[in-house]
Amino acid sequence: KNEVEQSPQNLTAQEGEFITINCSYSVGISALHWLQQHPGGGIVSLFMLSSGKKKHGRLIATINIQEKHSSLHITASHPRDSAVYICAVSRTGNQFYFGTGTSLTVIP
């Protein structure tokens, strides 16, 4: 069983739609990370959060520690948002567990 589960695995949306990607984890964590990997392979760290909610532009990340669940929301999606979104959790001692990623395609 993976320590980090993401859903959906693949997601296709029309431009402008509101998108939600979910992440559930089964271990105690010190922080949860959302990463974005572009089709060219580059990885960008979007958020690191341990409680509550963070917002950056059209991206919003939330975490519920009690439920061991996080969501990444994209408002007014755009084709340039097409990427793989990876959820990762870090534990004390910097153990890292990664989800398998959600492949998002936004169609114009």
Partner 1 sequence: DAGVIQSPRHEVTEMGQEVTLRCKPISGHDYLFWYRQTMMRGLELLIYFNNNVPIDDSGMPEDRFSAKMPNASFSTLKIQPSEPRDSAVYFCASSFSQIRQYFGPGTRLTVL
27 binds partner 1 (CB under 8 A): no
Q: Mapped to the 3 state alphabet, what secondary structure does the chain carry?
A: CCCEEEECCEEEEECCCCEEEEEEECCCCCEEEEEEECCCCCEEEEEEECCEEEEECCEEEEEECCCCEEEEEECCCCHHHCEEEEEEEECCCCCEEECCCEEEEEEC
Residue type, 30: S
| Contact between 33 and partner 1 per CB under 8 A | yes
Can residue 57 be called a binding residue for partner 1 (CB under 8 A)?
A: no
The one-letter amino acid at 66: Q
Q: Which of 3, 71, 98, 103 binds partner 1 (CB under 8 A)?
A: 98
H-helix segments, the chain: none
Query: Is residue 18 at the binding interface for partner 1, with CB under 8 A as the rule?
Result: no
CB of 94 to partner 1, least distance (A): 6
Considering the rule CB under 8 A, would residue 22 count as an interface residue with partner 1?
Answer: no
Contacts with partner 1, 64-93, as mask; x by CB under 8 A: ----------------------x-x-x--x
Q: Does 23 bind partner 1 (CB under 8 A)?
A: no
Query: Where on the chain is the footprint of partner 1 (CB under 8 A)?
Result: 31, 33, 35, 41-45, 48, 86, 88, 90, 93-96, 98-101
